[in-house]
Structure formats: C-alpha cells, structure tokens
C-alpha cells in the first residue's frame, strides 16, 4: 500500500517566484515543507512553466488551470473544480497566506470539507486614524477569517496585541526567519573594511532603509556625527544604504558618510558581517529582514522597542532596545545609549555573540517546524481572546 504524504494546501494572493533572487517568507516556508517531505498544493493567481518542475512534491494550481480543466468537466467554476480535485486529493491542512476573495472561497470550501485552516495576517496593520476600507477589513473581513481559522498568524507580540483590540482569538506568533548559513560572522572581510578606511579597532556603523522622515534616517546619521565628534582619535565609519525623498538633503547635511543607493542581495552578507553596529531609529516597528539578518551576522542592533527590535532584541544582551516615551521618539536617549556603547568594546563583543545566538533560534529550519506544527496540531479550545506563543 502506497503511503500518502502529508499534504498542505497554500493559497497565495500573488505568484510565488521560485528563483534565488526572491527571498520571501512564503517561499522559505514552502521550501522547508518540501525539504521535510511534505506535499504542497500551491493555489495562486499565476505560475510559470518551470514552477511545475521545481520539486516533485510541489503541485501548482492556478485559476486559469482550473478554468482550462473545468471546460472538460461541464464548465465547472474554479472553486467547484477545486472541490472536485480535493475530493480525490484532500489536503491535511490549508494555509491562507493573506485574506482575499480567493482565500474566502477556499476557506468556505475547507470548512465545508472539515479541513483545518490557518490564516496569515502578516501584511496587515491597524491604522491610527479612521479609514473606511481599513475599518471594514478590521471589523468584518478579519473577524470572519479568524472565526474560520484554527490559528491566525502574526509576526510579533506588538501586532498580536493590536489584533487583540479587535477581539480576535487564537492568535499565534510566527516571526520571520533567517538563513543563518548565508548570514554569518565568518563573512567579515578585512579587505572590505579597508575599502571603507576602517581600522581593526574602529567601529563601522550601518543604516539600511529608505532615506525619509518616516523611517527617521536623519537620527541615525546625526548619531554618527556626534560619535565622530566625541571620539576624534578614532576612525569610525558609517555606511548608509538606501534612497528616498531626503537623500540629497541628508548627503549635503551629513558628509563623510558612504552612501549607496542599492546593494545586490549577494553582497549583503559580507557587508553586514563587516559592520559592527546597525542603527535602526525607525519608530514604526517594521518587520523586514534587516534586523534578524544583521543579528545573524554578529552585528549589534540599536533601535526602538517596536517591530523586529521588540521581537528579537533583548536590551543590553543581544542589542539595544530603547523604549519609546509614551509613543514619542526619545532621540537624546537613543544617542546617549549608542555613545555609552562605543566606550565599551567588551560589551560590544558580548552583544555580538548573543545576537548571533539569538538569530540561530530563528533559522528557517526552526521557523518551518513551528509553521508545520501550527498547521497540523489539534485545534485549540479558547473561550476568550488569547495570544498563542510560537511552539518549539
């Protein structure tokens, strides 16, 4: 008797590009599940021909493919075709990557077939001011998906608490992972630091992100200028990667900094590992890859206690996590903390080691295991709103 592999159906709103140039969370999770021997049914708007040959365990299903097949089956609608397909090839669980019309249809079908569903709320935010579309989404769409899902996934404690305000239940945290082999301290390059004119005992500061007011890039650059004035005998350097509305203004106001508009993804591991301190003064709490990739590279991350910093950085242990003063950015505290750190090379070395150790626990291998556990574990019983910690 042939053993049927565990099958996960994934509904994606946008195409999942299976090439090395794209480094998305969903792509990593799919790769991880295939590596663990699971079969993946990918339901998304469009796939390329080579996607069908990407892995024997990957089955790509698109609406166009459903429609083409439906014509041979008395003009079934795409969702009816999927119901017919699942009758013969039922998945063990369904993951809706983000609420959408297609996700709504598939969730209803899964509910009718008694297949457990998990929904991702990763790209959603709670607006601080009234917005009609967001209001409808937050008070109608999200609660509906949450009520039909075994878990609703968010990527930080901060976002989980935001969604708690909507009285959503069964929230589980699944943070963004990192490729700890690709981002590692071993890629530190003396040659690259020499190009930056940084000596062995000098510090290289790094800012990466948009150069605009919303991301508070000016505070990072101003902090470095104060550090240069405070340590005139040192040859500390700063690298600023990014572009934006304030780029020309900042370049004129803060000379002596190396500005780079864009860096190829292949060069990022060496740049991160060759730097010492990443300044992230953004108060919005974004959850991109930068923080965890820098930590995996053995870099000290300094930022406000929001988003990825709040999620991954333990203050004075694996970085500097600075609390916001009633939601306001305390710029003087940010600058003072960095200044104090520059006077403690022993503490910098200790934080670098702890940052790497913290990032190892967020390797994609472990994040994928958490994801699989959330999909296949028994449905929890909850009588009230709660946040489910990540398993494992």
Report pLDDT digits (tens) over 204-238: 999 999 999 888 999 999 999 999 999 999 999 99
Written as six digits, the tokens of 58 are: 């990957």
The pLDDT of residue 306 is: 84
Give the residues across from 43 on adjacent strands: 11, 61
The pLDDT of residue 156 is: 83
Report pLDDT digits (tens) over 266-287: 999 999 999 999 999 987 766 6
The pLDDT of residue 159 is: 82
The pLDDT of residue 360 is: 96
The pLDDT of residue 392 is: 39
The pLDDT of residue 327 is: 62
Place of tokens 């500005």: 259
Number of H helices, E strands in the chain: 16, 14
Place of tokens 């969903």: 26
Euclidean distance between CA atoms 273 and 293, whole angstroms: 10
Q: Count CB-CB contacts under 10 A for residue 214.
A: 14
pLDDT averaged over consecutive 10-residue blocks of the chain (392 residues)?
82 78 81 95 79 83 58 62 91 94 94 95 61 68 92 87 86 92 97 95 95 92 96 95 93 95 93 97 77 97 90 95 78 95 96 97 95 90 53 42
Contact at 8 Å (CB) between 348 and 356?
A: no
**Alpha helix (H) residue ranges in the chain:** 25-35, 63-70, 78-88, 101-112, 132-136, 142-148, 157-164, 190-195, 217-230, 247-253, 268-274, 290-296, 307-312, 331-342, 345-360, 364-376
Which CA distances in Å does 160 have to 2, 154, 167, 312?
A: 42, 6, 11, 15
The pLDDT of residue 385 is: 47
**Model-level pTM?**
0.85
């Amino acid at each position: 008797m042939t053993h049927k592999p565990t099958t996960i159906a994934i509904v994606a709103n946008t195409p999942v590009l299976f090439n090395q140039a794209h480094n998305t969370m969903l792509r990593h999770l799919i790769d991880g599940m295939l590596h663990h021997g699971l079969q993946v049914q990918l339901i998304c708007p469009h796939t390329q021909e080579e996607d069908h040959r990407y892995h024997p365990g990957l089955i790509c299903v698109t609406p166009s493919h459903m429609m083409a097949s439906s014509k041979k089956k008395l003009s079934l609608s795409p969702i009816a075709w999927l119901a017919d397909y699942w009758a013969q090839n039922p998945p063990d669980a369904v993951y809706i990557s983000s609420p959408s019309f297609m996700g709504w249809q598939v969730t209803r079908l899964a509910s009718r077939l008694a297949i457990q569903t998990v929904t991702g709320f990763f790209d959603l935010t709670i607006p601080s001011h009234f917005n009609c579309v967001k209001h409808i989404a937050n008070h109608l769409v999200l609660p509906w998906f949450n009520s039909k899902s075994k878990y609703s996934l968010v990527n930080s404690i901060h976002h989980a608490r935001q969604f708690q305000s909507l009285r959503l239940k069964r929230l589980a945290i699944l943070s963004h992972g990192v490729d700890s082999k690709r981002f590692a301290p071993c890629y530190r390059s003396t040659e690259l630091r020499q190009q930056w004119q940084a000596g062995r005992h000098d510090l290289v500061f790094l800012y990466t992100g948009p150069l605009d007011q919303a991301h508070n890039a000016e505070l990072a650059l101003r902090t470095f200028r104060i550090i240069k004035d405070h340590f005139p005998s040192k040859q500390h350097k700063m690298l600023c990667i990014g572009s934006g509305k304030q780029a020309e203004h900042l370049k004129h106001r803060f000379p002596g900094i190396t500005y780079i508009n864009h860096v190829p993804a292949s060069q990022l591991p060496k740049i991160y590992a060759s730097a010492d301190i990443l300044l992230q003064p953004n108060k919005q709490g974004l959850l991109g890859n930068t923080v965890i990739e820098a930590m995996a590279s053995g870099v000290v991350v300094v930022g406000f206690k929001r988003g990825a910093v709040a999620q991954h950085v333990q203050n004075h242990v694996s970085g500097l996590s600075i609390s916001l003063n009633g939601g306001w950015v305390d710029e003087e505290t940010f600058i003072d903390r960095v200044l104090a750190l520059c006077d403690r090379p022993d503490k910098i070395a200790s934080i670098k080691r702890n940052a790497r150790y913290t990032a190892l626990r967020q390797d994609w291998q472990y994040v994928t295991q958490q994801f699989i556990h959330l999909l296949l574990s028994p449905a929890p019983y909850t009588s009230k709103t709660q946040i489910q910690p990540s398993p494992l």
